[in-house]
Amino acid sequence: MTKFDYHKAMREGHGYNLYVADLLQHFGMPKVDVPEFTIATTHDEIKDKTLNEKDVIVDDLVLEVKSSSRSFQNVDDFPYNPVIVDTVSGFDSKIIKPFAYVMISQITQGIFVIPVSTKYDWTIQTFYDAQRDIEESFYMVRKRHCRPFIELVDILLERANERTNQM
């Protein structure tokens, strides 16, 4: 078995963050930011990254981007139900919880969203990850709680318009 390459995975993940940010800007979203890419090497850096990392920031909201090696166009043809949201330890340790998870196919660039407002509907399952050789607990959500990416775009644009009108 090959050893999991964390640094390669982090670099690739950052590329998907940029892709999602570009999509949001394409739809006219103002104030989209992707923090600079850094690699955590020490235990303290890894801990800090786990607690504070933000994939994409839109105004004051954080979006967590998760790429998948599965082929899908949208949630309807995503091959599993329920869907893995995040590791329990990863989500629970975040100081600022994401507004939503953006799920993207590495194969098709198909995309859908899991709103964190659905957290009360999440369950926990434990799986063995053969690539990393660890057992991990994951938050899971039924596909019916997932939304099309365009719904996230609409919500974010609406929020941006409300903020502009308040100034």
pLDDT at 105: 97
3-class SS shares of the chain: helix, strand, coil, % to 5: 40, 30, 30
Residue 46 is predicted with a pLDDT of 66
Report helix angle 149-166 to 6-26, nearest 10. Answer: 60
pTM of the model: 0.88
User: What is the span of the domain harbouring residue 155?
Assistant: 6-166
Q: Is residue 1 part of a domain?
A: no
CATH code of 155's domain: 3.40.1350
Q: Is residue 16 part of a domain?
A: yes
pLDDT at residue number 166: 66
Q: Is the pLDDT of residue 2 over 60?
A: no
In the predicted model, what is the mean pLDDT of residues 31-42? 82
Residue 133 has pLDDT above 90, yes or no: no
The predicted model gives 13-39 an average pLDDT of 89
Share above pLDDT 90 across residues of the chain, in percent, rounded to a whole number? 68
Tell me the CA distances in angstroms from 83 to 23, 61, 117, 129, one per residue in order: 23, 23, 15, 16
How many separate domains does the chain show? 1
The more confident residue out of 14 and 90 is 90
Pairing relationship of beta strands 61-68 and 100-105 according to DSSP bridges: parallel
Chain centre distance of CA 120: 18
Residues 102, 65 contacting (CB under 8 angstroms):
yes
User: At which residue do the structure tokens 């090959």 appear?
Assistant: 2
Q: What is the pLDDT of residues 48-91, one digit of tens each?
A: 766 678 899 999 899 999 999 999 999 999 999 999 999 999 99
What does the pLDDT look like over 82-120, one tens digit per residue?
999 999 999 999 999 999 999 999 999 999 999 999 999
Q: Is the pLDDT of residue 162 over 60?
A: yes
